[in-house]
Amino acid sequence: MYVLQVIPLARTAPPEPLTYRSKDVFIPGALVEVSLRKTTVLGLVVACEPVQHAKAALKTADFSITKSVLRERGALPPAIRTAAIIVATYHATTIGAVLASLVVPIIPEEIPSRLSKGEEFSTIAIEDPRKDREKKYEKRFGEGITLLVVPTLAEARSFTERYKSLKPLVITSALTQKKRDAAVALACSSDAPMLIISTPSYAFLPIPRLSGIIIERLSAGGYVFPKRPYIDMRIALTELARARELPIAYGDYPLPLEYRSKPALPLKHAPNAPAKILDASTLREEGTRWLAVPAPIRDEMARILKDNGTVGVLAARRGYAPSVVCRDCGTTVTDDYGRALSLSIANDKRIFRSADGRTIEDIGGKKVLCKKCGSWNLQPLGVGIERGGEELAIAFPDVELIQIESDTRSAKLHKQLSTPPSAGRIIIGTEAMLPTLSIDTPLSLGIIASADSLLALPFWRARERFVRVGLMLRERSERMFLVTRRMEDTALSGISNPTTSTFWEEELGLRKLLSYPPFGTLVVFNAEGSAERIESAQRYISEVCAPHPLITLPPRGIAKNMLRGTSVLHVPAGAWPDAALAEKLATLPPFVRTHIDSETFF
């Protein structure tokens, strides 16, 4: 009989290994099936010793061993374990939670016993427009296997088409479970093709003959998992490449500031399409109604649509308007918990909706008044998809109108966009529409209808994100219009003149002043519950994080009898991950969420 120390691979498993008994001996690194809270989960063996050697410890233990190992499932390759340990430390969580998130959903039935190593770990920055990136990626395809990770299904589809001569293996959520299991098994076998394309959820694969990793569109939000332990796959894949001594390439245009080798330098290339910045204050004639797409731009659209062209309109958010304000006192309309409400239309009814979806209020024919001054004079602000779509449908009733939102990724949409329009076409959407647009058949005209709304999004990376989104649209357009009231903002020059350094120098200076990446790491803690629970959690977080300064924001209501408290830890550049601090943070209770370099504090 043997005593095993096993780390259960479950998101909610305790941080320390659990003890099980077994008739068989297992080497550290073996994967076994064990029972955890009446559920069978995979576990990683970290120690195994004969029961007679463990008798002394068992006699003084405050538990008895009642559970046995059920069966063996092979062994986890050492490189995977090494990378997972570092990823767990970086995200201030447990190795069990990391492996449960990265490995358990995709682990093949036959686990490779050996993973080849490369000659040396290295990072390569590929900061070019999409077509140029595609060519540079292709040059990296060699004798071994290349893993190309893309953030969306649309991009998986387009890169599969681009490299179809290589017959790539594609692993995404678009496959059925049976086909995906077969694809994972093939990727982890000796018969894997030279190119494997996957989305982030399926990228942490034990591919035996892997020769390099490419992360496409590095800035995409899809690389951060939305569920605990909130893993950043860019970090996970970098550590996997490091453990296997492989090169990893980061592709984007532009790259996030912290991934640029010389952050203050301008971009080397600019899209061919001309970009024209228009002053919104001069586009509206006095006494006329405000329009989401101003009249002069509509005139240009009419000429393009008459020639069966395609116009793309980029809006800041879903819904009718991102916010609603009182014209009399300037107060933003919020719910009872202080969350700003956007105006949306659902089933022909007008509703107020909070960004987190916790508040949805049908206003129908009700008279809505300002909570501060009681005025009825409320004004929707900003351009949402629904508002822009409504106006353009009225202005161009005979033209095909396609609205693309973050959850619109169907094969039907792909087929619709691939079919040339018979009488012109208008596409309106958030930035989620950009990956669906073809580089080879660009828009006749791309329009950012409200640059100010994009710049005002509540993210500390909003300006960099705005430049990247603008350049993506410019790449996919023959011409581009950008409408703003902030003509002096240097972010505009980042789009119109990306080969100048003005924007990057200013952004770098602001980041340095605030100790934001790359000049530090932001560890954001969100605690939810009663005021007493949040106060207790924040007190403990403050004690654990000492001597690093901790910024604590006042709790705000998110639901009835429910508050959310936020604390932000600024860690100096190069000081994270801190293994000792991360180990303490991993013991925080489940109602506290820990995010590393989160773009928003809320």
The whole-number average pLDDT for the span 584-597 is 91
Beta bridge partners of 83: none
Reply yes or no on whether the pLDDT at 295 is more than 60: yes
Write down the pLDDT at residue 416. 79
Q: Does domain 520-596 have CATH number 3.75.10.10?
A: no
Write down the pLDDT at residue 556. 81
> Which pTM was predicted?
0.88
Residue 342 has φ and ψ, to the nearest 5°, of -95, 160
Q: Around 5, how many Cα atoms within 13 Å sit in the side-chain half-sphere?
A: 12
Write down the pLDDT at residue 37. 80
Write down the pLDDT at residue 549. 81
Question: Of 438, 394, 431, 392, whose CA–CA distance to 414 is shortest?
Answer: 438
Question: Of 531, 561, 537, 563, whose CA–CA distance to 550 is shortest?
Answer: 537
pLDDT digits (tens, 9 = 90+) for 240-289: 999 999 999 999 999 999 999 899 999 999 999 999 999 988 887 766 66
pLDDT band at 66 (very low <50, low <70, confident <90, very high): low
Q: Is 118 helix (H, G, I), strand (E, B) or coil?
A: coil
The whole-number average pLDDT for the span 504-512 is 96
Please provide the CATH number assigned to the domain covering 122-252. Answer: 3.40.50.300
Token pair belonging to 325 = 């304000």
The whole-number average pLDDT for the span 512-518 is 94
Q: Is 273 exposed, middle or buried (0-12, 13-18, 19+ CB in 10 A)?
A: middle
Please provide the CATH number assigned to the domain covering 275-509. Answer: 3.40.50
Reply yes or no on whether the pLDDT at 550 is more than 60: yes
Place of tokens 């076409």: 425
For the chain, domain boundaries: 2-75, 122-252, 275-509, 520-596
Residue 276 has φ and ψ, to the nearest 5°, of -115, 125
Contacts of 320 (CB under 8 A, 6+ apart): 342, 343, 344, 345, 350, 380, 384, 386, 387, 390
pLDDT digits (tens, 9 = 90+) for 443-466: 999 999 888 888 877 789 999 999
Write down the pLDDT at residue 62. 52
- CA dihedral for 173, 177, 179, 183, sign (positive or negative): positive
pLDDT digits (tens, 9 = 90+) for 141-198: 987 899 999 999 999 999 999 999 999 999 999 999 999 999 999 999 999 999 999 9
Q: How far apart are CA 514 and CA 511, in angstroms?
A: 5
Q: In what order do the strands lie in the sheet with 71-75?
A: 18-22, 2-8, 39-50, 30-36, 71-75
Write down the pLDDT at residue 385. 73
Q: How far apart are CA 464 and CA 482, in angstroms?
A: 16
Reply yes or no on whether the pLDDT at 383 is more than 70: no
* Domain 275-509 identical in fold to domain 520-596: no
Write down the pLDDT at residue 567. 94
- The average confidence (pLDDT) of the chain is 87
Amino acid residing at 386: E
Question: C-alpha distances in angstroms, 388 versus 256, 364, 396, 408, 428?
Answer: 30, 20, 12, 17, 8
